[in-house]
Amino acid sequence: MAFLQDSPQLAHPYRSDRLLLSLLDRALPADRRAALDGDLDALGDYAQMAWRRVCTTTPRKPILTRWDAWGGRIDRIELTAAWQEGAAMTTRHAVLASGHADNEHARLEEFARVYLYHLASEFYTCPLAMTDGAVTALKASGNPTLIERALPHFLSRDAATFWLSGQWMTENIGGSDVGDTETIARRDTDGQWRLHGRKWFSSAVVGEAALALARPEGAAEGTAALALFYVETMDGDRRKPELVIDRLKDKLGTRELPTAEIHLEGLPAWPLGELAHGVRQVAPMLNVTRTWNAVCAVASMARAISLARDYALRREAFGRPLLEQPLHAQTLADMQAEFEAAFALAFEVAHLLGKVEQHAAAPHQVAALRLLTPLAKLWTGKLAVELCSEALECFGGAGYIEDTGLPQLLRDAQVYAIWEGTTNVLSLDSLRALAGDSMDALRTTSTGWLEGNEDMHVAAVIRQALDAAARWLDRHSAARGALEAGARGLALTLARSAAAALLARQATWSSRHGDPRPAAALRRFVGRGLDRLITPDADNTAWLVR
């Protein structure tokens, strides 16, 4: 019989995830920790089932049928199995509802669920993130009519009444530069607002509602004149005729997600608040979806590393398992150290978000969260691509073969760095945050995270990196061009430094509980360097880009 290689097996994503288990043990009161266990266990079971399904069935894509046999416009979208299960899974395990409970740990408990559900959901988490963001933006608007109308659906624990919301911002002209939005809001004589325009990336076109940016007719150009509107997409079982789906996008990854190009032909709409400053009003939504992006990016890293580690035990080459080969073990350990730091940062943003929303955070934590959100999004987005690529290489040629289920990890990971603001857009957003007092806040917060840490070398390296970043910012803050050119280096330095301080906090706790592994991850992560600052050189850049 010819040799047959064992395929990699997915360990239980909850019960075998020591990072998630020890984070929850450290951060949650015992009663809340115990109450969470059932949902997380069930979501872990579902994730294992979904991985088996991926490995044993032919991949499917959503199918758009625009016309019925009799010439009627129907714009029907058939979804994959995981998407059809989405509403039931979300409501049964309170994925969204848990995050809006009246408790400072609510967001941490929500994002633990998101982390486990994400890959099994086939990116159904994308519209879930937008729905979560819509809840947050609606709450911030204080609009009682819309809150009463939409929130019971968005936060429902019953699949029959659950609604998804989209986030309609992106247009052909206004991609990242949302201020160029061309969609117009016109008011009927009876006072009803209606939207007219084209949205170029609509991820949740299967949802029942959306928040959309539009320019009230006659308003000035630019970002400040945009308004934020709430829309509903369905009339009972039928899509409203004023919402036309032009086509589904053909994408590199996230292929189960029905991303659409749409036309709005007078779709009824209701403003959330004032008829201007729509970007300011949608910002709470953006910061929530960016948190989802970071947590989902670390979920992809966790999956890639879990499979690569399992395979390293099963696969023998040159007479011994891969795990016993020094260079392979070195590669896996480097991946693990980066992942542990990214995990610590993404979940701290999630936890802090809950504390800030429940007024349980100090002012410096509020300012730190404003900065840490774009930092976590941009760094984890890039790292997910790097680690998924490295993980595929750990399988040799098998990592390049579609029906192993492995290439999809890499194709899907590429989206984290693009949607919800690219790495550069997020780096510039971190400059927006740094214009306030968030650098001081980050240093104060990091000092707190380092309390009790006994590794003086590590603490010194983290402080040096934060000091260097603060000096760099002072040196370049008067020259906008240099500041922007170096913004990515600054953001990565701050992200890595904050993540190291968070990992130190976890390492201190874990060491006391007899687990030396986070301390090992910390030493390796810090050893790989925190400082990514650059010296901007506009003349040199000009030579190289023309």
Using CB under 6 A, list all residues that contact ligand MFK.
123, 125-126, 129-130, 167, 169-170, 176, 178-179, 203, 223, 277, 279-280, 283, 286-287, 289, 292-293, 296, 419-421, 425, 429, 432
In 3D space, the residue among 229, 223, 195, 352 whose CA is nearest the CA of residue 280 turns out to be: 223
- Residue 18 beta carbon to ligand MFK: minimum distance, rounded to whole angstroms: 24
* CA distances, 493 to each of 106, 503, 534 (Å): 29, 15, 10
In 3D space, the residue among 195, 192, 175, 173 whose CA is nearest the CA of residue 184 turns out to be: 195
Which residues on neighbouring strands pair with residue 267, listed in sequence order? 195
Coil/strand/helix, residue 174: coil
- Residue 488 beta carbon to ligand MFK: minimum distance, rounded to whole angstroms: 15
Residue closer to ligand MFK by CB (options 169, 305) is: 169
- Residue 213 beta carbon to ligand MFK: minimum distance, rounded to whole angstroms: 9
Tell me the DSSP string of 345-385. HHHHHHHHHHHHHTT-S-HHHHHHHHHHHHHHHHHHHHHHH
- Residue 37 beta carbon to ligand MFK: minimum distance, rounded to whole angstroms: 24
Cα 427 from chain centroid?
16
Residue closer to ligand MFK by CB (options 290, 309) is: 290
Residue closer to ligand MFK by CB (options 223, 447) is: 223
- 526 touches 473 (CB < 8 A): no
Residue closer to ligand MFK by CB (options 136, 287) is: 287
In 3D space, the residue among 482, 466, 473 whose CA is nearest the CA of residue 435 turns out to be: 473
Residue closer to ligand MFK by CB (options 344, 428) is: 428
> Which DSSP helix (H) or strand (E) runs through 460?
helix 456-476
Residue closer to ligand MFK by CB (options 289, 453) is: 289
- Residue 296 beta carbon to ligand MFK: minimum distance, rounded to whole angstroms: 4
- 89 touches 269 (CB < 8 A): no
- 141 touches 273 (CB < 8 A): yes
* CA distances, 36 to each of 41, 108, 114, 155 (Å): 9, 11, 13, 18
Residue closer to ligand MFK by CB (options 297, 533) is: 297
Residue closer to ligand MFK by CB (options 80, 293) is: 293
- Residue 438 beta carbon to ligand MFK: minimum distance, rounded to whole angstroms: 11
Q: Phi then psi for 491, rounded to 5 degrees?
A: -65, -45
DSSP conformation class of 159: G
